[in-house]
Chains A and B, each alone.
Chain A
Amino acid sequence: MDVRPLLLSIFTLALLLPVMYRRYQRRTGAPAASYRNRTGRLLVAAMASLVFVGVIGGAAFASNGDKDGSKTGTDVVNLVTAEKQADRAAPTPEEVATATEKNRVAINLTWLMLGGILVLFMQAGFALVETGFTRAKNAAHTMMMNLVIFALGVVGWFTCGYALMFGATDYHGILGLTALGSPVHIGSWNIIAKSGFFLSGHAYDVSIMAFFFFQLVFMDATATIPTGAMAERWKFSSFCVWGLFASMLLYPIYGNWVWGGGFLSQLGVLGPKWGHGAVDFAGSGVVHAMGGVAAFWGAKILGPRVGKFDKDGKARAIPGHHLPMALLGTFILLVGWMGFNGGSTFAGTDFRFTVVITNTILASAFGCLSCMLVMWRMFGKPDPSMTANGLLAGLVAITAPCAFVAPWAAAVIGTIAGVLVVAVVLVVERRFKVDDPVGAVAVHGANGLWGLLAVGLFADGTYGAGLNGVAGGVKGLFYGDAGQLAAQVTNMVVLVVFCSVMTVTFFSILKRTVGMRSDQDAEIAGLDMPEMGALAYPDFLEAQGPVFFPVDDGPRADGPNAPVSAAALREEMVR
Chain B
Amino acid sequence: MKKVEAVFRPERLENVAASLDAAGFHGFTITDARGHGRSAERTGEWRGVSYEMLVTHKLAITVVVEDGEVDAAVAAICAGAATGAVGDGLVSVSELTAVFPIRDAQGTGAAAPS
Which residues of B lie under 8 Å from residue A383 when comparing CB positions? 45-48
Mark interface residues in A315-334 (1 if CB within 8 Å of B CB, else 0): 11111100000000000000
B49 and A545 within 8 A (CB): no
A544 and B56 within 8 A (CB): yes
CB < 8 Å neighbour of B53 from A318, A422, A545? A545
With an 8 Å Cβ cutoff, the count of chain B residues facing the other chain is: 15
Judge whether A76 is part of the interface by a CB distance below 8 angstroms.
no
User: Which segment, of A52-60, A275-283, A374-382, faces chain B?
Assistant: A374-382
B51 and A546 within 8 A (CB): yes
Judge whether A548 is part of the interface by a CB distance below 8 angstroms.
yes
Judge whether A439 is part of the interface by a CB distance below 8 angstroms.
yes
Judge whether A547 is part of the interface by a CB distance below 8 angstroms.
yes
> How far is the CB of A469 from the nearest CB of chain B, in Å?
44
B55 and A548 within 8 A (CB): yes
B50 and A379 within 8 A (CB): yes
Which residues of B lie under 8 Å from residue A439 when comparing CB positions? 47
| A: interface residue count bin | 20 to 34
> How far is the CB of B61 from the nearest CB of chain A, in Å?
19
A375 and B54 within 8 A (CB): no
> CA–CA, A303 to B56, complex, Å?
30
B53 and A378 within 8 A (CB): no
Judge whether B52 is part of the interface by a CB distance below 8 angstroms.
yes
Which residues of B lie under 8 Å from residue A320 when comparing CB positions? 46
Which residues of B lie under 8 Å from residue A550 when comparing CB positions? 54
B48 and A316 within 8 A (CB): no
CB < 8 Å neighbour of A385 from B46, B52, B54, B55? B46
CB < 8 Å neighbour of B55 from A315, A422, A545? A545
> How far is the CB of A20 from the nearest CB of chain B, in Å?
63
> CA–CA, A386 to B52, complex, Å?
19
B53 and A546 within 8 A (CB): yes
Residue with the greatest number of chain A CB neighbours at <10 A, chosen from B48, B52, B53, B54 = B48
Which residues of B lie under 8 Å from residue A426 when comparing CB positions? 48
Judge whether B44 is part of the interface by a CB distance below 8 angstroms.
yes
Judge whether A250 is part of the interface by a CB distance below 8 angstroms.
no
> How far is the CB of A254 from the nearest CB of chain B, in Å?
29
B54 and A548 within 8 A (CB): yes
> CA–CA, A381 to B57, complex, Å?
22
A315 and B49 within 8 A (CB): yes
Judge whether A425 is part of the interface by a CB distance below 8 angstroms.
yes
Judge whether A186 is part of the interface by a CB distance below 8 angstroms.
no
Judge whether A90 is part of the interface by a CB distance below 8 angstroms.
no
Judge whether A543 is part of the interface by a CB distance below 8 angstroms.
yes
Which residues of B lie under 8 Å from residue A429 when comparing CB positions? 47-49
Chain B residue nearest in CB terms to A378: B48
Binding site for A on B (CB under 8 A): 34, 44-57
Interchain residue pairs A-B with the least CB separation, the first 5 = A317-B51, A317-B46, A317-B49, A546-B51, A319-B46
Binding site for B on A (CB under 8 A): 315-320, 375, 378-381, 383, 385-386, 422, 425-426, 429, 439, 542-548, 550
16 pairs, A vs B, C-beta closer than 8 Å: A317-B45, A317-B51, A319-B44, A320-B46, A379-B48, A383-B46, A383-B47, A385-B46, A386-B47, A425-B47, A429-B49, A439-B47, A543-B55, A544-B53, A546-B52, A546-B55
